[in-house]
Each structure stands twice: as C-alpha cells, then as structure tokens.
Amino acid sequence: MAMSKLAAWFVATEIRTLRNEAGLSQERAGALMMRHRNTIAAWEAGTSLPALDSIRGICHHLGATAERTEYLEAVIRQHRTTGLVDDLVDIHDIYCLAHAERFYGEVSKWEPQFIPGVLQTEEYHFSPLTRDYRVDENILSRTWQVKSSRQKEYRDREPVPTTRVILGGDSIRFLDHIENRRKQVDYLLESAELPGWEIRVIQQPHPGMRGGFDVLKPAGFKHAGPAFSYVETLDTSLYIEEQHRVQAYDQAYKGMWDRAIPIKEYIDGT
C-alpha cells in the first residue's frame, strides 16, 4: 500500500517543530537520543521515518506533551493508509489541520452552518447553541485555549498565506440567537480586511454545499506538504490526499466561490 505523503510530511515537520521549540540543534538533539545528526536531518526532511517504538523516547527528549506524543504515534501507525483517518480522539481531530495551517500557502474553508474555529469569538465558542453536546465543560475550556492560540498564530504568520472562507447564509442568520452577536459580526468583518484574507457568503444552491470542508494547497510555501482536503463527518475526521479527490473538492469550492458575495455586502444587505 502506498505511504501517505501527508503522514510523512506531518511527522517530518512535527519533529522539526518540537526540536525548534526545545531550542536544540540537530546535532544536540541527536546526541540526546544517541543518534547521528544525519538521522535527525533525514527525519525532518521526510526521507525516513522513526520507528514507532522509538517515538516516546524521541518525544521525551524534545519535551513533547503526552497528547502530541500519542498523536505522532497514531500518525506513524497509519502512515501506510492513504488519507489519514483519526483513531485517537472520540469525535473530531483537527491537529493535523491546525499544524498544516502553520505552513501551507493557500487555505480555503467552507462551512454551511457554523462559523469556522479560526473565526470564532469566545462567546460563540461557549454558546450553548453552538457547542457539541458530546463535549464536557473541561474539554470545552481547553479547546478554546487551543483555538484562541491557533487564531493568533495563524494571523501572525509571515509570509502571509492566502485565506478564503465561504460561509453559508444560515451561519450568519443564526447569529441572531447568539449572545454578543455584534462582536462576532465585527470579528468576521475585521478578519475579511486582513492581508491575504477574503470572506464570502453563499445562498445559491451548489452541489458542494452538502457539507463543510477545507482545501489546503502548498502554493510554493517552504515546508508545506501535499495538497489535501479535510472533511468532518458525525463521528470522525478525514484527511483526503488522493489528487483526483482533492481536485474535485477544489473545483466544488471554486464553483461556490463564484456564486458567493463578499461578507460586507451580505451584512449591509441584511
């Protein structure tokens, strides 16, 4: 079975990220792990993968949390499955998606009913009307900390990626029932004015509107991986990397984009 290019990319960039966060050179990291610096370089270049049974030791030396260690193990465990399918969390896994948002040059998001996490205010995140009934208060608080950090990191990226977001009209109309609606609307409008950002709203029917998805493409950015689509179902997350399927999602996105209008135009007309 063909190796998942996305999995190989994730492992390489996650090891490099962990090493950089630890403030270690490849040579120093190799010494701690009793491996040659060339081995570390090969892992980070994606030309080889560390053995599954060595991940915990590697992550220990790089100061990784238990959660990141377990996720890295899960990715290596299924790296020969084309298209990552999460087997680690109970509901949805966005860790690889959030990781990719740190490196990819073109990020396109479509969400018919909800505001995407990268655009949510704290009030929206904690609203009883938007929260997942399967998530308890502790997880909800922890995910907001991760989400807010993810938002800041994405907005501070250099060079600036191209970010396109399509929202369904229902996601905006639903804000009438959310506490502090004006704050969320203002945040959407402010985000649409950021360099590289464009947010549109669609109301016309299109085949791609059956469910939300993301399409991420490298767009020539250094350290970006292969193009992929991210899709959430009720009980899992799918990372689709087969080229013909990614192209199908990309074409659907372009079709919806052409039918959508700028968010300011939509808000001013409601």
User: What CATH number does the domain containing 32 carry?
Assistant: 1.10.260.40
Beta bridge partners of 187: none
Residues 173-181 have a mean pLDDT of 90
Residue 47 is which amino acid? T
Least confident of 6-10, 161-165, 188-192: 6-10
Task: State the CB neighbour count (10 A cutoff) for residue 6.
Answer: 23
> Which position has the higher pLDDT, 37 or 136?
37
The rounded distance, in Å, linking the Cα atoms of 39 and 47 is 10
One domain for residues 29 and 99: no
User: Which band of pLDDT confidence, cut at 50, 70 and 90, is reported for residue 200?
Assistant: very high
One domain for residues 149 and 17: no
One domain for residues 16 and 144: no
The rounded distance, in Å, linking the Cα atoms of 130 and 117 is 11
Give the pLDDT of residue 138: 86
Residues 219-242 have a mean pLDDT of 91
Tell me: pLDDT of 88 over 50. Answer: no
One domain for residues 42 and 100: no
User: Which band of pLDDT confidence, cut at 50, 70 and 90, is reported for residue 127?
Assistant: very high
One domain for residues 43 and 143: no
Give tens-digit pLDDT for 128-153: 888 888 888 888 898 899 999 999 99
Give the pLDDT of residue 68: 92
User: Which band of pLDDT confidence, cut at 50, 70 and 90, is reported for residue 1?
Assistant: very low
Give the domain extent around 41: 5-77
Environment class of 143 (CB within 10 Å of its CB; exposed 0-12, middle 13-18, buried 19+): middle
Listed as own residue / partner, the contacts of 171-175 with beta carbons closer than 8 Å and 24 or more positions apart are 171/111, 171/112, 171/113, 171/114, 171/115, 172/201, 172/263, 172/266, 172/267, 172/270, 173/270, 174/113, 174/129, 175/124
Tell me: pLDDT of 158 over 90. Answer: yes
Residues 158-174 have a mean pLDDT of 96
> Which position has the higher pLDDT, 2 or 146?
146
| pTM, to two decimals | 0.91
Give the pLDDT of residue 84: 63
Give the pLDDT of residue 92: 56
